[in-house]
Structure 1
Amino acid sequence: MSHPFDTAFAAFAPALPLGVAFSGGADSSALLLACARRWPGQVHALHVHHGLQAAGDDFAAHCEAMCERWQVPLVQRRVDARHAPGDSPEEAARQARYHVFDQVLLQEWAAVGIRTVALAQHADDQVETILLALSRGAGLPGLAAMPARWQRAGVAFERPLLGLPGEALRDWLRAQGETWIEDPSNQDLRYTRNRIRHQLLPALQSVFPQHRATMARSARHAAQAQTLLTELADEDLKRVGSPPAIALLQGLSPARQANVLRHWLRLAHGCQPSELQLQELLRQVAACTTRGHRIHLKVGRGQVLREGGVLGWYN
């Protein structure tokens, strides 16, 4: 009888050569080993040392030893993933990792023609992401959680294990006689994600045993709804212009104004306004009925100002 991991992994059909993000933990170890066995000579690994804890050197050494044994070429990069005061440590680390992906895809992996990058997040990670988004009052982008596949810098990124619980990955790895390294920070209950993992998920499993499947379905619904909102925002941005014309913005409903302003700020300036900032911007746009009315509002790490009949942006 086949293991659930083998059944789920059989559906993974990436364009080769393949890059795998490898932390040395159980999840990425299972993914890398399975890929190396299925596509020998076509798999490359990337390990990112975040520089956040002394154990990081042990992770790097473990990854190097595993890749040598599995005959997988390994690229290692060290980054400074410390977060600024008030910023999310998890988001800072994520941004640092994707910056490394961009560099490696343009350098080492470009030389071997990597076409797909595989990440090892699983169903429990997806549930944690949804609950974390709910705890922060997130909108549809947060509730849509982690996509199974997307494009970045012309390369396909995939998460082939999103349908599997984490224990299934660890069980499969034990059956192979393989070991992995445990990140001690995963036990630190100062982090909200760890409190969700260790305190909330066991209770959720007891009350709602099917929570992984049902939450994944909700995330897919949220992602679909967000796609529609993005399409509408694209159409509205063509109508109001970039930078947006204030008079044309005022012709939209408040909900569409909010949607297109979020879209403009994200696309043109890489900015995500808070709910309070967006509501104040909408209030000021609505009040802007005379030539002398000023708009000057901090949004994210920049400023939105009125420039004649349009909204301007300055860092």
Structure 2
Amino acid sequence: MDDREWLAERFEEHRGRLRAVAYRMLGSVSEADDAVQEAWLRLSRAGADGVGNLGAWLTTVVARACLNVLRSREHRREEPYAAHVPDPVVGPESGLDPEHEAVLADAVGLALLVVLETLSPAERLAFVLHDMFAVPFEEIGSMIERSPEAARQLASRARRRVRGRAPVPDPDPARQRDVVNAFFAAARGGDFEGLVAVLDPEVVLRSDAGAGSRLSTVLSGARTVAAQAVTFGRLSPFARPVLVNGAAGVVVVANGRPLSVMAFTVAGGRIAAIDVLADQDRLSALDLGVLEAGPEWGKHYLRT
């Protein structure tokens, strides 16, 4: 085995963790893969001589690449529009494949990613690396050219914002699915009060049809969201249950083509957030091959 093959094997041992870090940092699957690829290119050029902890070195390279992307977004004033929904990771209800499980090792829902996008680049880096991956503040501080104490304060500030705005999903996937099924049953039957009953009073609905689209919207409050959700009843025959970021969700399909991905955050037995990605350009770029579209694609799969 030559040196490059040895390096490639060592890198593959860390790829899953690196993708998980980058996805949480950026909320974009393609940009996360680019950051991981950049780490490989740097490693393949420089080699591992003098690197005492390869995993930590690679994490630092990926984190800095992500930080550059976040700062570039900020510099170009690419503030996420209100209805922006991060890239979902979609898999069959039977469970995610190992590659996707690595990305979602500790289950990060879309509602949490939405909140992370409101943080500054430095806050996001500090929170993601320390709270999700236990990277010491000494290492985080060096990445952003600040003291360990400053990095600690960034993570603490981010933590307070996340805890106040990101609902914690119920841990039981079967219970999540029951609540989502009840939601679609009420929508299909035009049962407004039934919809209100399965929605958290402070529920938020984000529908992302693409930047500038008049169909993109953010709604909040159970009765407001229920009024909009009544129209989801017509989608029920085309909704296939899937896992979206490890939680109950659906892909809406017509004529063999995905029309939207819907992610539900179920907390306390009620739906606390609904995130809908209906941007056709972004949908076409998602890895939906794991769903194995076939002749049954598009049938009524929800138990309503």
Q: TM-score, normalised by structure 1?
A: 0.32
Higher RCO structure, 1 or 2 (CA under 8 Å, sep 6+): 2
Higher Cα Rg, which structure: 1
